[in-house]
Structure 1
Amino acid sequence: MSTPGSTLTSQEVVDIVRTTNYGTWRFQKSWNPLHIVDAKDCTITDGNGKQYLDFSSQLMCSNLGHKNPAVIASIAAQAEELAYAMPGYATTCRAELSKLLLEILPPSLNKFFFTTSGTDANEAAFKIARMYTGKTKIIARYRSYHGSTAGSIAATGDPRRWAMEPRGKQQGVIFAPEVNCYRCPIKHTYPACGIACADYLEHMIRNESDVAAVLVEPIVGTNGVLVPPEEYMPKLRKICDEYGVLLIADEVMTGWGRTGKWFAMEHWGVVPDILTTAKGITSAYVPLGLCATSEKIGAFFQDHYFSHGHTYEAHPMTLAPAVATINEMRRLNLVDRSAELAPYVEAKLRELKAKHPSVGDVRGKGLFWAVELVKNQTTKEPFNTYSDKVSGTPLLVDQIAGKCMADGVIIQAWVSHFVVAPPLIVTREEIDRGIATLDKHLALADALVEPDRAREVSFDFNLVTSTSATSDS
């Protein structure tokens, strides 16, 4: 099948891309990309005309669904009006977006720096935190992904930073235990633990000099969709305030209605000092990121030099579709819709866990869920670890995702779990279809489940990281 407007066949497109481009976070020899020619609402169409349910919003970013007419029109209109203006100028779309952000961001986050990606937004956050505090170190967590540029990959806790480790060690980042009540890295049990993972982080601050900020994903993204207990964020906020450390919330994936709130930190009534986001801010129609800071940080730079910037900061072609995206989310009431559909999705996924011995845990909020596979529900031993990925060992979740794709459902899977995160416009019928397809192919994992055994399984839980090319900031 030829692409409309092109003489290339679908196979020629794949061959050229595969030969001349790098596939991210993978061995190149195994890359066989799907040729996509169209997408509308929750459906993706490939070069052969086959349609797929987009059950993970591509990279957990197409929150509004595909081909929204209002967003498309805003891109065309902005191109006609003003395609580019350097960052030192004011533009109408810049003012309009800033005004909307003041309405929907957590209170007091009222000074903005616009970027072209989530990783750029985090880079800006690190620089701002260091300029503001005069300190250097950033505390991040092991089960995390914050981007692929030098500073952001250094702050990424998952093993994707390993290849860059010599550079990473120069970036002033240290790592704390993640919040993972299903598989606690410090072997505590909630709620008797008293939120020991936050206490450990306080211990680090007390014993490290020069800590500028603590960086967290409110709900960890493709490293597991790890939802913290209710007490964690308020306790972390209190610790940061007590020691004069800034709290940075990376909402690249959790923002824009994904968890049933505009931003996930709202679930705990906690306002960070800096909030970074991207992805859903334009529903990924154009690349835009945002670094939003508190009023006190903004006031600091009235009399202190703001030493950061880039050519595409506040690019008009990125800002106009963000205005349209916010307006469309409001018109369609998608934040409330995400919250309203959450119990329905959870119930369906709980049924999967009850039915399949290979499902160890399901967890999430809003329309952001993980289904984690294990060999044994008692020991929680996974089928694969990150070591399998980097050695090229075929991963069980990839095999299952491949079978789902053959049945017309695209679901993101990596190392030991699947991410269920459809566009916020998804229907109940589409939810049923996606989960039913996963249900069908979990039989492959069930057949490999090991019988219960009364022995201690020893392996490094930190390597059980569901990292992914799909979690690019």
Structure 2
Amino acid sequence: MSHPVSNDYVHSLDRQYVFHSWSTQGALDPLVIAGGAGCKLWDYAGREYLDFSSQLVNTNIGHQHPKVIAAIQQQAASLATIAPATANLMRGEAAKRILSHAPENFAKVFFTNAGADANENAMRMARLFTGRDKILSAYRSYHGGTGAAIVATGDPRRVPNEYARGHVHFFNPYLYRSEFDAADEQEECSRALKHLRRVIECEGPNSIAAILLESIPGTAGILVPPAGYLKGVRALADEFGIVLILDEVMAGFGRTGSWLALDQFEVRPDLITFAKGVNSGYVPAGGVMVSQPISEYFDTHYFPGGLTYSGHPLAMAAIVATLDAMAEEGIVDNARHIGQEILGPGLRALADKHSLIGEVRGLGLFWAVELVSDRQRRTPLPAALMAKLKSGLLERGLLPFVVENRLHVVPPCIIQEPEVRQGLAAIDEVLGTL
């Protein structure tokens, strides 16, 4: 028996049958979404939302981009799926395009289904290449929800999931809440690097396979590293023969106003992981960009890893169409321009107006607004007020990305000035009510 589709029907279907991630199941009240286009989404009652979250910071090209949808449909009509051991046109074209945005000396792409398994396989490559075991990563990080990726993650979700071995954490720079009593960015940078050197020395450099770092930690608070930090990490990796893996899953493919976030820090890693923005998640895809020396190592050494859907043709067609559309339509430049000229200044103006804002930081269309109940003490705004902020924004038709005491402002990279102004006005209004 068929049901008329409505918000109520979809909501009840979800609550009866769907088990959700990162949540206590009984307390859930998921938002119902029926469709979308560009930066807008709507429910079955026709209620519209401006997407200021890019979902999980992945719909960089916006919703239902016609060129990407057409590419998926065309690929589905000719070959919907094929095993990864075969040669496939779209897989080759996708890898070629991805590498055109990598630093020099990157040779191959290993495709995965998401960012988590991209990080899993990058760690695997580093361990095999070095013959070492330990992976160093930051406490303020998120690298995915799977076996080793969640243990490499620093945030508290790691703690109930610690089943992988060989993981060590260190503090990355975060001046606003400095672990190093630093007075400015330069001091934060030098002290963070000194701390990392001590961790390497104490763990035994010859036991460390890789340092895994998000170019700009995303979920942890959009922590733009101080000038010189990533270069300093690269120098430490070189000194001790450690592989440097930069996680560009959230920060890559236009989000920061450059093709990759690392482009803005003059750093060349050994492995780069990606997912999300590479095709805006239209079909799940991720991967590892592999530098020449590591790629050449596996020319004569077996790689013990693989996935049934690695380089899935529908996902690959979506990547090719996404990267082509981003280039043709100047979407990366748009992210840089809107961030620099409109969104960044707009958020700073809100900080001048509202004492609840402790700090605003970001690049491109990748911003965090840190909310505090006391500016002097930098006391995080309590969870109850953050919940009020979130519901207030939803009531005003803005779909926000709220993490702990922060509002992450991360709209699609295609957003235009009027929509940015609309979003800023909603944030301004809700902050006024708090």
With the shorter chain as reference, the TM-score category is over 0.9
Q: CA deviation at 1:16?
A: 1.5
Q: Does 1:233 align with 2:230?
A: yes
Give yes or no for contact 2:173–2:188 (8 Å, CA) kept in 1.
no
Q: Does 1:203 align with 2:192?
A: no
Q: Does 1:62 align with 2:59?
A: yes
Give yes or no for contact 1:57–1:423 (8 Å, CA) kept in 2.
yes
Q: CA deviation at 1:194?
A: 5.2
Select the residue among 255, 259, 265 that pairs with 2:256. 259
Partner of 1:353: 351
Q: Distance in 2 between matches of 1:226 and 1:99?
A: 30
Select the residue among 296, 308, 312 that pairs with 1:311. 308
Q: CA deviation at 1:232?
A: 0.4
- How many residues in Structure 1 have an aligned counterpart in Structure 2? 429
Letter in 2 for 1:429: P
Letter in 2 for 1:351: A
Alignment of 1:72-471 (within 5 A): 72-165=69-162, 167=163, 170-190=164-184, 191-193=186-188, 195-209=190-204, 210-343=207-340, 344-384=342-382, 394-445=383-434
Q: Distance in 2 between matches of 1:75 and 1:233?
A: 37
Give yes or no for contact 2:175–2:188 (8 Å, CA) kept in 1.
no
Q: Mark the runs of 5 or more structure 2 residues left unpaired by the alignment.
A: none
Instruction: Indicate the larger mover: 339-348 or 86-95.
Output: 339-348
Instruction: Indicate the larger mover: 373-382 or 94-103.
Output: 94-103
Q: Distance in 1 between matches of 2:433 and 2:416?
A: 27
Q: Distance in 2 between matches of 1:227 and 1:297?
A: 28
Q: CA deviation at 1:7?
A: 2.9
2:42 alignment partner, SS class:
strand
Q: CA deviation at 1:259?
A: 0.3
1:296 alignment partner, SS class:
helix
Give yes or no for contact 2:217–2:224 (8 Å, CA) kept in 1.
yes
Distance verdict in 2 for CA 1:99–1:192, change over 3 Å: closer
Q: CA deviation at 1:227?
A: 0.6
Give yes or no for contact 1:177–1:186 (8 Å, CA) kept in 2.
no
How does the TM-score come out when normalised to structure 2? 0.96
Q: CA deviation at 1:408?
A: 0.5
Q: CA deviation at 1:341?
A: 1.3
Q: Distance in 2 between matches of 1:108 and 1:64?
A: 28
Q: Distance in 2 between matches of 1:329 and 1:119?
A: 24
Give yes or no for contact 1:342–1:367 (8 Å, CA) kept in 2.
yes
How does the TM-score come out when normalised to structure 1? 0.89
Q: Distance in 2 between matches of 1:19 and 1:145?
A: 30
Letter in 2 for 1:432: R
Q: CA deviation at 1:23?
A: 2.1
Partner of 1:469: none
Q: CA deviation at 1:178?
A: 2.1
Q: CA deviation at 1:383?
A: 2.1
1:353 alignment partner, SS class:
helix
1:301 alignment partner, SS class:
helix
2:320 alignment partner, SS class:
helix
Letter in 2 for 1:412: F
Letter in 1 for 2:362: G
For the aligned residue pairs, the C-alpha RMSD in angstroms reads: 1.3
Letter in 2 for 1:413: V
Alignment of 1:25-64 (within 5 A): 25-64=22-61
Give yes or no for contact 2:180–2:188 (8 Å, CA) kept in 1.
no
Q: Mark the runs of 5 or more structure 1 residues left unpaired by the alignment.
A: 385-393, 446-473
Q: Distance in 1 between matches of 2:169 and 2:433?
A: 36
1:258 alignment partner, SS class:
coil
Deviations 1:46-96 (A, max 9, x none): 122100100121111000011111100111111111111111100010111
Q: Distance in 2 between matches of 1:192 and 1:211?
A: 26
